[in-house]
Structure 1
Amino acid sequence: MSYRRDLTTQEAVIARMTATMARRGPDAGGVWIDRHVALGHRRLAVIDLAGGVQPMQAEEQGRTVASLIYTGEVYNFVELRDELRGLGHGFRTRSDTEVVLRGYLQWGERVVERLNGMFAFAIWDVRSEELFLIRDRMGVKPLYYYPTADGVLFGSEPKAILAHPKVQPRVNREGFCELLTFAKNPEATVYAGMHEVRPGQIVRVSRRGLTKHRYWALTAQEHDDDLLRTVDNVAGLMEDIVQRQIVSDVPLCSLLSGGLDSSTVTAMANRAIADREGGRIRSFSVDFAEHGSAFVAGDFHKTPDTPFVRDFVDHIGCDHTEVVLDSRSLADRDLGRAVLEAADFPLSVSGDMFASLYRLFQAVRQNSTVALSGESADEVFGGYSWFHDPQTVNAGTFPWIAANISKAFDGTQVLDPGLRERLDLAGFEADSYASAIAETPQLAGESAAERRMREISYLHLTRFVQFLLDRKDRMSMAVGLEVRVPFCDHRLVEYVFNIPWEMKTFDGREKSILRAVARGLLPRSILERVKSPYPSTQDPAYEQAVREEVAEMLEDRSHPAAPLFDRAAIRGLLAQPLGNSSSLPGRAGLERARSIGAWVKAYDVQLDL
C-alpha cells in the first residue's frame, strides 16, 4: 500500500508476493488493485467452495466501497449473517468472508469485537482510503507488516513481504535475540523493520500515518462460581466450541496424541458428529518406527503416545490412522529446506518436531483439509510441570526458561563467545520478562500466591503459546491443511484465566478442571496419564544425519554463517558419542547450528550484530 505511487502499474510485484502464499492457499488466487492499494490472496477453500472467492469487494449504489482479503474461520458467521440481513444487508455467497466484509460496512472496525474464531484479515476502505490489519484475539492466525515511507507492506508470512524488491532480509541484535530466546515479545520479529500484528490488535494505516490499538486483552475478574458450576460451565463452553468448529464443507479430522487435551476434543467432536450426522470422526496420530518398543523415558518425554492412542480408539471407536515416520528421514535435506521455507525463521532446537509435524500434516492432508487440535490446553488450564514447581514459579523469569528442562533446549553454546557477549541474552530475557509482568492484569484483594499464578498464566497465554501456535500454523498451512484450536476460543480463555489457582488444582493434579470435564468421556488410562509433550525421536540415526550436515558446514570456511559460530565448541559436540535423550543438550546445539546456517544462506540474510 502506497499513498505516493500509482500501484496499478505494480501488478507483477503483487503477483510475486501473492505467489509466495500458494501453499497456504492451494485452491485459488486473485489480485485486486486500486490506485493506492494492491491486495493479493491465495485461498484454502473450506466454507462455500464456489462462492468465497477473494479479494472480495462490497458495493453500494454501483461503486466499490471496500475490499477484503481474509484467512481463517469465523465460527459464529451464521448468526452474524442473520443479524446483518435483519439490518438490510444482502448476501451473494454462503461464506464467512462476506459476513466479515458486510459486518465492516455495518460496524466499521468494531466488527472484530463480534467475531468468534481464528482469523487475520486486511480491509481497504475505498471511501476513506484507509487500510485495517486485524488479527484474532489469541493469535492463531499470523499477520506481518512492514511500514514504508508512504504506506505499508503486509502478508500472512514474512516471505510475502521479503518478496518485495525494496525489502532485504536484515537482522540486527534485537532480532537475533528474538531468534535465540524463548521470550516471544509481542509485535517483534527476527527481521529488522518488520512487525507482527499483535493478537487482539488492529493496525490502521491512513494518510496521517500508522496507528494501532488492542481491541481485546485478558482482564482480571472475580470468579464467583463454585467448583461444580465451574466444571459445568467449562464443559458447556467446550461442547459449544467443538460443535461450532466441526462445521466444514470439506473433510474434517482430529489430531490425536493419547493425552488429555486432544482426547477430550476428539471425544467431543466424535459425539457431536454422531448426534448430527450419525457418523464418527476420523483421527490421526504420529509415532516413529520402532519407537514404541525402543522408547526410553526421560525428563521431557515420560511415556510413548501410541498405547494411550490405542486405548482411546478402542474406547471411542473413531476412524483412526497411525502415521509412522522413519526417524532418519526427518533429517532429509529437502525436507529441511521445505520446513525452513514454511517457517521463514531458523527453527527452535527441536528441529525433528517441526519436520515430523510437517510429515504428519502431509499425511493428514491426503484425507482431510481441516483438523482439530488439542493445542493450548496446557497454557489455558496449567498443564506444564513447571506450573507446579514452587522454585520455578518464583524464579523471577519466564518459568519455561527457569525450568531445568529448558537447559536441554538452549543450544547457544555453539555461538561465537564474542557474539554471545554482545547479544547479552540474559539481559534481553530480563527486559522481556519485565515487560510481560508489567502488563499482567491484577485483581484487588488477591493473595500473593494467587497473583503470582495469574502472572504465570498470563505469561503462557501471551508469550509461550505463540511458539506453539506459530509452529502449528506454518507446518500445517505449508501443506494446505487448516488446523483449528478449540482451546483458544476467547470465551474459554477468559473464563479459565479467572478461575482461582486453588480451584484449578482442586484434585492435586495438573489441569484438574479439564480432567473433571473429561471424566466419563475418556478411558481411565488417559485420565490418569501424566503430561507428555509432542514426541521427539530418540533414534541415533536422526542425530547422525544432523551431525553430517553440520560437519559439512564447519568445513566450508566461506559459509556466510561461519562468523556466528564457535568452531571449537561445534567440534566438541561432534566428537561426543551418539546418544538418545541423555544427549539432548548437545543435539540442541547441533540443531541450532544447522538451522541458523541453512537460514542465513538460503535467505541471504544481512547480519548487523
Structure 2
Amino acid sequence: MCGISGWIDFQRDLTREQPVIDAMCHTMACRGPDAAGTWVRPRAALGHRRLAIIDLPGGAQPMAADTPDGPVAMVYSGEAYNFTELRDELRRRGRKFDTDSDTEVVLQGYLEWGPAVAEHLNGMYAFAVWDSRTEQLLLVRDRMGVKPLYYYPTEHGVLFGSEPKAILANPLAEKVVDADGLREMFAMTKTPGQAVWAGMREVVPGTIVTVDRGGLREHTYWQLEAAEHTDDRETTVARVRELLDDIVARQLISDVPRCVLLSGGLDSSAITALAGQQLGRAGEKVRSFSVDFLGQTENFVPDPLRDTPDGPYVHDVAQHVGSLHQDIVLDPTTLADPAVRRAAVTARDVPVGLGDMDQSLYLLFKAIREHSTVALSGESADEVFGGYRWFHDPEVQQAHTFPWLANARGQGGSVADMLSPELRSALDVDRFVADSYETALAGVPQLPGEGDFERRMRVMSHLHLTRFVRTLLDRKDRMSMAVGLEVRVPFCDHRLVEYVFNAPWALKTFDGREKSLLRHAAADTLPRSVVERVKSPYPSTQDPAYGRKLFDQAAELVRAQDPALSVLDAGALQQVMDIGPEAVNTGVRYFMERLLDVSVWFDVHKPTLKV
C-alpha cells in the first residue's frame, strides 16, 4: 500500500525545497508507517511513505532505474496482483530484477512498454513515474479507482499526492473550496475528476495524466464497454465462480498477516468462505473480523434498511468456514468520542460522511491493525451484481436522476436540504445534480437492439460502477489507511466487473432476488442462513445513548456559535435542538452528524469558502 506525493516544476530548483517535500510526505505517515523516502532532482521531487506488504526488505521507494539517457524514478501505492506473471514475461524480454517486489515489476514494465504498462496490470494502484529522458511525469490510476490520486496544476508544473492533504501541505496550494467544490460535497454525485478543493483534480480511474513542458494531457486506457453476453445461466454462474476463485487466490498473496472483513451478508461471507478454502489447502485457517455494537443483537429493531442484526449470521459463517473469528464490539461512548470523529474527518479530508458508520469503520480497522496488515473486503458487490434494494424499486428504476438520490428522496430528504437557505440558493444543488446526471447518462455505453428496460438497468449499473462505488471505495481507503491497514476489494477486479456488467438483468435476478449470480456462484461454500438472507447494509448503532451523546455535543456547538453554523440551516437545527435528546431519530441524528463533521473540518483544515 503506501502514500505517494510529489512536485514537478520546470522553472525552480527543487533541490532547494527539501523541507516542503518532507512536509508533503509527512502528511501521509499513517498510510506508510514502515518507512519514508524522497528522490529529489532539480525538476522533480518524489516522496513516499511505505506500508510493507510484498518483499519487506527489497521494496523500498522511491525506486529509480538508471538508463543511458538518464534515470527513471517511480513512487507507487497499491498492489499488482499479477506481478509474478509480469515479472516472468519481462525476464523473457531481457529485463533484470534486483528485488522480489511488485514495485520493481511496474517500473521495469514502464521501461519496456511505456505508459501502456497500465494495460498489463491487474490490481489496485496509483503511481507516478518521472522520466528524466523526456522530462515527463505520468500519473496512473487503477481501473476502478480503488487507490486515490490527486494533482494540482501550478504555473510551472504540478503537485500530486495520494490524498489532498499532501498537496495542501505545499505553499503553492490554496485551501479554498469554491461553489463547485461545495456542490460536490453536498450533492452526493461523485463527479469524475472533481476533488472539492479549488484548483485540485482527482485522476479519473482508468486514466493516465501526463505532464511535461507542453502542459497536461489525459488518456483513458480503460472504461466499461457494452458487449453482448452470450453465456447461458449455468455457464455464467460457473464463470463468476471461476473468476472469484482466481481473484481471491491472487489477493491473498502477502508477506504479512492477512484477514477478511465479515459482516454476515452474502458479499463478505462469500469472500470469507473462498479465502477459507484457499488457505485451507495450505493448512491455514482464515482469520475474520466483524464490527458490532453493545447490545445490538439483543435489542435490534428492524428498520427500512435492515431487517436483521448481523451478529447471528457472522457467527454462522465463522463456524461454517472454521475461521479464527473476532467481534470488535463498540459502545456508545467510544463511538461518540470526539477524537474518533476528528480522526475520521481528518482521514477523509471532507466533512460529508456516513456518521457513526465512519467512526465504527475507523475503530474496526484500528482494532484489526493490531493483528493483521492486509484485509479482504466484500465492498462493491452490490454495485457489480445489483444488490441495493433500490435497484429493484420500480419508481427508482424510472426516476430521471441518480438512483441513490431518488431513493434518499423517497426516505425523506438529502444532505443538501440541511444547508442554510442562503447557501442552498447560491449553490442550486438541484440544478447541479440534474446537469451531472445528464453528463453521466451521456457516458453510458449502448448495445444495439437493447430494450428500454434492459437499457435502463444498464444505466443504473453504470452509474453505480462509475459514480456511487467511488465514494465508498474512497471512504474505505481513507479509513483503513488512516491506521496503516491495506484493504483489498476482490469484487473490483476489472475482469469480473466487465463480465457481470454485460450480463442481462434477467440473469442477475434469475431466482427472483438480488445478486442471483453471486448467490448461486458461492452457495456451496456458505451456510443456508446466509444464502437466504436479505440484503442488509453496513451496520449502524441503534443505541439511543449514542444519539444523546450527539445531542449534547451539537448543543455545545450551538451555544458556542461554532463556524459550522454558517453552513447549515440554523432554523432547522434549532428545531432539532427543541426536540430534546430523548427524541433523536435517524434523520435528526444525521443532521447532528453533519454539524459535528463540518465543525471538525473547519478546525482541522481551516478552509476558505468562496461561493
User: How does the TM-score come out when normalised to structure 1?
Assistant: 0.97
* Aligned-pair CA distance for 1:425: 1.1
Q: Is the 8 A contact 1:261 1:374 kept in 2?
A: yes
Residue in 1 that maps onto 2:350: 345
Alignment of 1:72-91 (within 5 A): 72-91=78-97
2:595 to 593, 596, 599: 593
Alignment partners' CA distance in 2, 1:175 and 1:497: 31
Residue in 2 that maps onto 1:528: 532
Q: Give deviations 1:519-559, integer Å, cap 9, x for gaps.
A: 111011000000000001111221222222222222223x4
1:19 to 26, 36, 39: 26
Q: Is the 8 A contact 1:135 1:198 kept in 2?
A: yes
Q: Give the RMSD, CA atoms, in angstroms.
A: 1.3
Q: Give deviations 1:8-63, integer Å, cap 9, x for gaps.
A: 000000000000010000000100011111000000000000000000001235x7
2:62 to 55, 77, 80: 55
1:322 to 323, 327, 333: 327
Residue in 1 that maps onto 2:3: none
Alignment of 1:394-413 (within 5 A): 394-404=398-408, 407=411, 410-413=414-417
Give the residue type in structure 1 aligned to 2:319.
Answer: D
Distance verdict in 2 for CA 1:226–1:579, change over 3 Å: farther
Give the residue type in structure 2 aligned to 1:126.
Answer: S
The reply on whether 1:556 has 2:563 as its aligned counterpart is no
2:489 to 481, 485, 491: 485
> Does the residue aligned with 2:71 lie in a helix, a strand or coil?
strand
Q: Is the 8 A contact 1:561 1:601 kept in 2?
A: no
Alignment partners' CA distance in 1, 2:444 and 2:246: 29
Give the residue type in structure 2 aligned to 1:225.
Answer: D
The reply on whether 1:387 has 2:391 as its aligned counterpart is yes
Q: Is the 8 A contact 1:285 1:322 kept in 2?
A: yes
2:205 to 192, 196, 199: 199
Q: Is the 8 A contact 1:245 1:484 kept in 2?
A: yes
Distance verdict in 2 for CA 1:404–1:335, change over 3 Å: closer
Q: Is the 8 A contact 2:383 2:461 kept in 1?
A: yes
Alignment of 1:433-472 (within 5 A): 433-472=437-476
Give the residue type in structure 2 aligned to 1:292.
Answer: T
> Does the residue aligned with 2:387 lie in a helix, a strand or coil?
coil
The reply on whether 1:187 has 2:223 as its aligned counterpart is no
> Does the residue aligned with 2:195 lie in a helix, a strand or coil?
coil
Tell me which moved more, 482-491 or 288-297: 288-297
Gaps of 5+ in 2: 1-7
* Aligned-pair CA distance for 1:64: 4.5
> Does the residue aligned with 1:41 lie in a helix, a strand or coil?
strand
Number of residue pairs aligned between Structure 1 and Structure 2? 604
Alignment of 1:497-508 (within 5 A): 497-508=501-512
Tell me which moved more, 63-72 or 128-137: 63-72
Q: Is the 8 A contact 1:76 1:116 kept in 2?
A: yes
User: How does the TM-score come out when normalised to structure 2?
Assistant: 0.97
Q: Is the 8 A contact 2:39 2:46 kept in 1?
A: yes
Q: Is the 8 A contact 1:374 1:485 kept in 2?
A: yes
Give the residue type in structure 1 aligned to 2:400.
Answer: G
* Aligned-pair CA distance for 1:229: 0.6
Give the residue type in structure 2 aligned to 1:569.
Answer: A
The reply on whether 1:132 has 2:101 as its aligned counterpart is no
Q: Give deviations 1:326-352, integer Å, cap 9, x for gaps.
A: 12321111111111111111032x211
> Does the residue aligned with 1:60 lie in a helix, a strand or coil?
coil
1:214 to 215, 220, 238: 220
Alignment partners' CA distance in 2, 1:549 and 1:178: 27
Alignment partners' CA distance in 1, 2:340 and 2:418: 23
Q: Is the 8 A contact 2:129 2:137 kept in 1?
A: yes
Alignment partners' CA distance in 1, 2:320 and 2:192: 42
Give the residue type in structure 2 aligned to 1:21.
Answer: M
Residue in 2 that maps onto 1:306: 311
Alignment partners' CA distance in 2, 1:213 and 1:119: 17
Alignment partners' CA distance in 1, 2:38 and 2:84: 27
2:158 to 133, 152, 160: 152
Alignment partners' CA distance in 2, 1:273 and 1:108: 36
Q: Give deviations 1:72-105, integer Å, cap 9, x for gaps.
A: 0000000000000011110000000000000000
Q: Is the 8 A contact 1:411 1:585 kept in 2?
A: no
Alignment partners' CA distance in 1, 2:250 and 2:339: 38
1:29 to 12, 26, 36: 36
What fraction of aligned residue pairs are identical, expressed as a percent?
Answer: 55
* Aligned-pair CA distance for 1:579: 6.0
Gaps of 5+ in 1: none
Residue in 2 that maps onto 1:419: 423
Q: Give deviations 1:546-578, integer Å, cap 9, x for gaps.
A: 222222222223x43332233221111122244
* Aligned-pair CA distance for 1:436: 0.6
* Aligned-pair CA distance for 1:590: 1.3
Residue in 1 that maps onto 2:498: 494
Alignment partners' CA distance in 2, 1:213 and 1:182: 26
Q: Give deviations 1:293-334, integer Å, cap 9, x for gaps.
A: 111110022211000011111211111111101123211111
* Aligned-pair CA distance for 1:117: 0.1
Residue in 2 that maps onto 1:163: 169
Give the residue type in structure 2 aligned to 1:7.
Answer: L
* Aligned-pair CA distance for 1:353: 0.6
Alignment partners' CA distance in 2, 1:593 and 1:452: 36
Residue in 1 that maps onto 2:4: none
Q: Is the 8 A contact 1:411 1:591 kept in 2?
A: no
The reply on whether 1:604 has 2:609 as its aligned counterpart is no
Give the residue type in structure 2 aligned to 1:603.
Answer: H
The reply on whether 1:5 has 2:7 as its aligned counterpart is no
The reply on whether 1:569 has 2:576 as its aligned counterpart is no
